[in-house]
Copies of this chain bind each other. A is one copy, B any other.
Amino acid sequence: MSKELAKKIVDKMMAEDKFSQWLGLETVVVEQGHCILKMKIREEMVNGFGISHGGIAFSFADSALAFASNAYGRLSVALECSISFAIAVRVGDELICEAKELSITNKTATYHMEISNQKNEKVAFFKGTVYRTSKEWFPENKK
Protein backbone atom coordinates (compact mmCIF):
# COMPACT_ATOMS: atom_id res chain seq x y z
CA MET A 1 0.00 0.00 0.00
CA SER A 2 2.64 2.54 1.04
CA LYS A 3 4.83 1.43 -1.85
CA GLU A 4 1.98 1.89 -4.29
CA LEU A 5 1.26 5.36 -2.97
CA ALA A 6 4.97 6.24 -3.25
CA LYS A 7 5.02 5.11 -6.87
CA LYS A 8 1.77 6.91 -7.70
CA ILE A 9 3.05 10.20 -6.27
CA VAL A 10 6.49 10.05 -7.86
CA ASP A 11 5.00 9.10 -11.23
CA LYS A 12 2.75 12.12 -11.00
CA MET A 13 5.64 14.38 -9.94
CA MET A 14 7.92 13.11 -12.73
CA ALA A 15 5.16 13.61 -15.31
CA GLU A 16 5.02 17.34 -14.49
CA ASP A 17 8.69 17.84 -13.65
CA LYS A 18 10.01 19.20 -16.93
CA PHE A 19 13.42 20.01 -15.55
CA SER A 20 13.98 16.47 -14.20
CA GLN A 21 12.91 15.28 -17.63
CA TRP A 22 15.48 17.57 -19.26
CA LEU A 23 18.08 16.15 -16.89
CA GLY A 24 17.07 12.68 -18.06
CA LEU A 25 16.38 11.34 -14.55
CA GLU A 26 15.24 7.75 -14.22
CA THR A 27 13.83 6.24 -11.06
CA VAL A 28 15.45 2.95 -9.97
CA VAL A 29 13.87 2.62 -6.52
CA VAL A 30 11.13 4.76 -5.00
CA GLU A 31 9.87 4.25 -1.47
CA GLN A 32 8.64 6.41 1.38
CA GLY A 33 11.76 8.15 2.72
CA HIS A 34 14.10 6.49 0.24
CA CYS A 35 14.89 6.54 -3.45
CA ILE A 36 17.57 5.76 -6.00
CA LEU A 37 17.77 7.69 -9.26
CA LYS A 38 20.12 7.63 -12.22
CA MET A 39 21.11 10.03 -14.98
CA LYS A 40 23.81 10.55 -17.60
CA ILE A 41 25.85 13.74 -18.08
CA ARG A 42 25.44 15.37 -21.49
CA GLU A 43 27.50 17.95 -23.34
CA GLU A 44 24.95 20.69 -22.63
CA MET A 45 25.42 20.26 -18.87
CA VAL A 46 29.02 21.53 -18.67
CA ASN A 47 30.22 24.74 -17.02
CA GLY A 48 33.04 27.14 -17.87
CA PHE A 49 35.64 24.55 -16.84
CA GLY A 50 34.29 21.97 -19.31
CA ILE A 51 33.08 19.71 -16.47
CA SER A 52 29.55 19.13 -15.24
CA HIS A 53 28.05 22.33 -13.74
CA GLY A 54 27.65 22.11 -9.96
CA GLY A 55 23.97 22.86 -10.43
CA ILE A 56 23.47 19.56 -12.27
CA ALA A 57 24.54 17.41 -9.31
CA PHE A 58 22.54 19.68 -7.01
CA SER A 59 19.40 19.38 -9.16
CA PHE A 60 19.78 15.61 -9.35
CA ALA A 61 19.94 15.30 -5.55
CA ASP A 62 17.21 17.89 -5.06
CA SER A 63 14.82 15.80 -7.18
CA ALA A 64 15.75 12.73 -5.11
CA LEU A 65 14.98 14.74 -1.96
CA ALA A 66 11.60 15.76 -3.36
CA PHE A 67 10.67 12.21 -4.36
CA ALA A 68 11.76 10.54 -1.09
CA SER A 69 10.01 13.10 1.09
CA ASN A 70 6.79 13.53 -0.89
CA ALA A 71 6.30 9.76 -1.22
CA TYR A 72 4.64 9.67 2.22
CA GLY A 73 1.65 11.45 0.73
CA ARG A 74 2.08 14.93 2.18
CA LEU A 75 3.30 17.74 -0.03
CA SER A 76 6.81 18.58 1.23
CA VAL A 77 9.03 21.44 0.13
CA ALA A 78 12.78 21.96 0.55
CA LEU A 79 13.77 24.65 3.04
CA GLU A 80 17.52 24.39 3.16
CA CYS A 81 20.02 22.24 1.26
CA SER A 82 23.79 21.99 1.27
CA ILE A 83 26.10 20.18 -1.10
CA SER A 84 29.79 19.23 -0.91
CA PHE A 85 31.58 18.65 -4.18
CA ALA A 86 34.21 15.92 -3.89
CA ILE A 87 35.16 14.85 -7.40
CA ALA A 88 34.62 16.48 -10.82
CA VAL A 89 31.85 14.98 -12.98
CA ARG A 90 32.47 14.68 -16.73
CA VAL A 91 30.44 14.36 -19.91
CA GLY A 92 29.40 10.75 -20.35
CA ASP A 93 29.49 9.97 -16.62
CA GLU A 94 26.60 7.85 -15.40
CA LEU A 95 25.48 9.00 -11.99
CA ILE A 96 23.48 7.29 -9.28
CA CYS A 97 21.88 9.26 -6.43
CA GLU A 98 20.58 7.57 -3.31
CA ALA A 99 18.39 9.48 -0.84
CA LYS A 100 18.32 8.23 2.75
CA GLU A 101 16.15 9.61 5.51
CA LEU A 102 18.04 10.87 8.54
CA SER A 103 15.03 11.96 10.58
CA ILE A 104 11.35 12.74 10.26
CA THR A 105 8.95 14.57 12.53
CA ASN A 106 5.44 15.86 11.96
CA LYS A 107 6.58 19.15 10.43
CA THR A 108 10.05 18.53 8.99
CA ALA A 109 12.33 15.79 7.70
CA THR A 110 16.03 15.63 6.87
CA TYR A 111 17.71 13.55 4.16
CA HIS A 112 21.25 12.68 3.10
CA MET A 113 21.88 12.16 -0.62
CA GLU A 114 25.03 10.63 -2.06
CA ILE A 115 25.91 10.80 -5.74
CA SER A 116 28.30 8.22 -7.24
CA ASN A 117 29.70 7.80 -10.73
CA GLN A 118 30.07 4.65 -12.88
CA LYS A 119 33.41 3.85 -11.16
CA ASN A 120 31.56 3.87 -7.86
CA GLU A 121 33.41 6.99 -6.73
CA LYS A 122 31.37 9.32 -4.56
CA VAL A 123 31.24 12.66 -6.33
CA ALA A 124 28.96 14.77 -4.13
CA PHE A 125 27.14 14.76 -0.78
CA PHE A 126 23.91 16.62 -0.18
CA LYS A 127 21.97 17.28 3.03
CA GLY A 128 18.45 18.64 2.76
CA THR A 129 15.62 19.57 5.10
CA VAL A 130 12.00 19.76 3.97
CA TYR A 131 8.92 21.33 5.48
CA ARG A 132 6.02 18.89 5.48
CA THR A 133 2.84 20.81 4.66
CA SER A 134 -0.56 19.48 5.67
CA LYS A 135 -1.66 19.24 2.02
CA GLU A 136 -2.13 15.69 0.70
CA TRP A 137 -1.12 14.60 -2.82
CA PHE A 138 -4.13 12.26 -2.96
CA PRO A 139 -6.57 13.28 -0.21
CA GLU A 140 -8.66 10.18 -0.90
CA ASN A 141 -5.73 7.94 0.17
CA LYS A 142 -5.80 9.33 3.65
CA LYS A 143 -8.15 7.65 6.06
Q: Which residue numbers of A lie inside 8 Å of B, CB to CB?
A: 12-20, 22, 43-50, 53-56, 58-60, 62-63, 66, 70, 75, 77-87, 102-103, 105, 107-108, 110, 112, 114, 122, 125, 127, 129, 131
Contacts and interface: CB of A to CB of B under 8 A. Distances in A.
A135 to B, nearest CB: 10
A127 B129 CA distance: 13
A53 B63 CA distance: 8
B81 A12 contact: no
Contacts of A79: 79-80, 84-85, 108, 129
A125 to B, nearest CB: 5
B122 A19 contact: no
